[in-house]
Amino acid sequence: MNIFSLIAEALVSLGKNKVRTSLSMLGIVIGVGAVIVLVAMAQATKSRVEDEIARMGDDWMWIGTWGMSKSGARKGNVERKPNQTRDDARAIMEHCSLIRAATPSNQMQMQVKSAYNNYQTGVQGVFPIYHDIRRWPVIVGRVLNGEDEQTGNPVCVIGQTAAHELFGSIQPVGEEITVNGARFTIVGLLSFKGRSGRRDNDDMILFPYKVFQQKVAGSEISSTMLAAAHIGVDPMAAEAQVRSFLRERHNLRDEDDDDFRIWSVSEMAQMKEESSASFEWLLGMIAGVSLVVGGVGIMNIMLVSVTERTREIGLRMAIGANGFDIMLQFLIEAVMLCTLGGIIGIFVGWGASSILTSWKEYETQVSTSIAILALGFASATGVFFGFYPAFRASRLEPMDALRYE
């Protein structure tokens, strides 16, 4: 008997008891559907993480004094001088060979006024090199430049969230805003940056550092810097070089603690990638358990089928079928049960993912390769859990099978 005859025979056999066949496939349908949905959720989460890292970059670091002793505190009878981050940033660019750019960063929350609205948002004074460090170009207008910094031009560039709140649908480039009583002209609209956790990166307005200190910050001294490594340089090596340089520049002794903190974005990126991968594996394992449970159900049903069809098996053997033919017959039935369940499960998973995306606004990303892999795993489940019932059927003695009641 050729393979096509065996497949046709398997379809006839499965069709004789449609309810039992459907219930047998249900476990596989749920398992494959769960694989599709859960992995689609994990893939979407992973893509969001990768997009966020790509937008932010992973080769820069924050250098600041948050959580440190304030200026004037004493340690070891040595009075700490306030960190001059502007001069430190320039010194880092000049003396740290692994660093391509550095800027002071004085960030505050302030009320901003436009001709259309008042809105509290983040305002920040930076060197123009900030655009390169944060990989943050503009989509309309221009970025801050060296002339703005040198001459103290009262200009700024605005993030998309702040622009929407202050100007609605009006193009903000060329408009004016008022911050702390000083007027500034918007020269650029920043590209979309997205969120980092609960923080909206686009809810921000950037000013040249010099004019920001003069007209907005006043006596508020910047205590934070940003620095970025050269392309291709290990961010951790760049961080170590900056730490060593600042300790020397701040006249710290070997036994002294750092009077600054460094927080590397590359560490955050690595942590997010690792957590995303762990999340994906966890969801995949949960879905895999569903497939195994479905496979056990298939095995149970096939054992019942072997018992019910004992006389049929004896008759087939009596007219010339051998043990291998019998085993192959039942094995094909098990594989077909799982394969058909897998195909239905793919459509169920795809539909459930679409519902999550359209109705619940939970982003999913269905992968064709994962669907094919899930279908292959479902077929393999049929082989694995169908082998023992098929083997048991092939070992029946023809005479005993014919006498079975």
Instruction: Choose one of 203, 226, 259: the last residue of a domain.
Output: 259
In this predicted structure, what is the pLDDT of residue 242? 94
CA distance 142 to 133: 16
Residues 172, 166 contacting (CB under 8 angstroms) = yes
In the chain, the N- to C-terminal Cα span, in Å, equals 27
Residues 6+ apart with CB under 8 A from 321: 1
Confidence band of 171 (pLDDT split at 50, 70, 90): very high
pTM of structure = 0.61
Interval 208-232: pLDDT, tens: 999 999 999 987 777 789 999 998 8
Are 14 and 112 in a shared domain? no
User: What is the percent of the chain where pLDDT is above 90?
Assistant: 33
Structure tokens at 94: 């000049």
Interval 59-71 mean pLDDT? 71
| Residue 36: inside a domain | yes
| Residue 58: inside a domain | no
| Residue 178: inside a domain | yes
Amino acid residing at 233: V
**Of 290, 385, 401, 372, whose CA–CA distance to 337 is shortest?**
385
Residues 189, 32 contacting (CB under 8 angstroms) = no
Residues 365, 49 contacting (CB under 8 angstroms) = no
Residues 6+ apart with CB under 8 A from 183: 154, 176, 177
Average pLDDT along the chain: 81
| Lowest-confidence segment of 51-55, 146-150, 296-300 by average pLDDT | 51-55
CA distance 255 to 25: 69
The set of long-range contacts for 265-274, using a CB threshold of 8 Å and a minimum separation of 24, is 265/56, 265/57, 265/58, 265/59, 265/60, 265/61, 265/62, 265/235, 266/58, 266/59, 266/61, 266/235, 266/236, 269/53, 269/56, 269/58, 272/49, 272/52, 272/53, 273/49, 273/50, 273/53
Are 242 and 299 in a shared domain? no
Amino acid residing at 254: D
Are 191 and 74 in a shared domain? yes
| Lowest-confidence segment of 33-42, 103-112, 149-158, 311-320 by average pLDDT | 311-320
| Lowest-confidence segment of 43-52, 139-148, 317-326, 344-353 by average pLDDT | 43-52
Are 184 and 224 in a shared domain? yes
Beta bridge partners of 205: 123, 158
Structure tokens at 303: 């054992």
Are 394 and 332 in a shared domain? yes
Instruction: Choose one of 200, 225, 259: the last residue of a domain.
Output: 259
CA distance 280 to 274: 10
Interval 120-126 mean pLDDT? 95
Highest mean pLDDT among 118-122, 317-321, 384-388, 397-401: 118-122
User: What is the percent of the chain where pLDDT is above 70?
Assistant: 83
Pairing of strands 195-196, 199-200: antiparallel
CA distance 215 to 207: 10
- Does the pLDDT value for residue 196 go beyond 80? no
Q: In terms of pLDDT, which residue wins out, 342 or 317?
A: 342
Q: Which three-class secondary structure state does DSSP give residue 364?
A: coil
Residues 6+ apart with CB under 8 A from 143: 128, 131, 137, 157, 188
Interval 363-387 mean pLDDT? 79
Alpha helices in 57-159 (DSSP H): 85-95, 130-133, 146-151
Confidence band of 73 (pLDDT split at 50, 70, 90): very low
| Lowest-confidence segment of 15-29, 128-142, 222-236, 280-294 by average pLDDT | 280-294
In this predicted structure, what is the pLDDT of residue 382? 78
| Residue 57: inside a domain | no
H or E element that contains 157: strand 155-158
In this predicted structure, what is the pLDDT of residue 119? 95
The 10 Å Cβ neighbour count of residue 281 is 12
- Does the pLDDT value for residue 192 go beyond 60? yes
In this predicted structure, what is the pLDDT of residue 179? 96
Are 303 and 209 in a shared domain? no
Are 218 and 361 in a shared domain? no
Interval 66-82 mean pLDDT? 47
**Torsion sign (Cα): 68, 70, 71, 77:** negative
Are 190 and 239 in a shared domain? yes
Confidence band of 130 (pLDDT split at 50, 70, 90): very high
CA distance 203 to 122: 6
Q: Which residue segment(s) compose the domain that 26 sits in?
A: 3-52+271-402
In this predicted structure, what is the pLDDT of residue 268? 59
Structure tokens at 399: 């005479």
Interval 330-339: pLDDT, tens: 788 888 888 8
Are 94 and 176 in a shared domain? yes
Interval 272-283: pLDDT, tens: 556 666 666 776
| Lowest-confidence segment of 27-36, 53-62, 324-333 by average pLDDT | 53-62
Interval 229-249: pLDDT, tens: 998 888 889 999 999 999 999
Domain count, the chain: 2
Amino acid residing at 290: S
Are 277 and 357 in a shared domain? yes
- Does the pLDDT value for residue 190 go beyond 90? yes
The gap from C-alpha 161 to its chain's centroid, in whole angstroms, comes to 23
- Does the pLDDT value for residue 203 go beyond 90? yes
Confidence band of 76 (pLDDT split at 50, 70, 90): very low
| Residue 398: inside a domain | yes
Are 356 and 396 in a shared domain? yes
Are 285 and 255 in a shared domain? no
| Residue 106: inside a domain | yes
Confidence band of 377 (pLDDT split at 50, 70, 90): confident
Instruction: Choose one of 197, 229, 259: the last residue of a domain.
Output: 259
In this predicted structure, what is the pLDDT of residue 167? 96
| Residue 33: inside a domain | yes
Confidence band of 78 (pLDDT split at 50, 70, 90): very low
Interval 325-334 mean pLDDT? 80
Length of the chain: 405
| Residue 35: inside a domain | yes
CA distance 227 to 133: 7
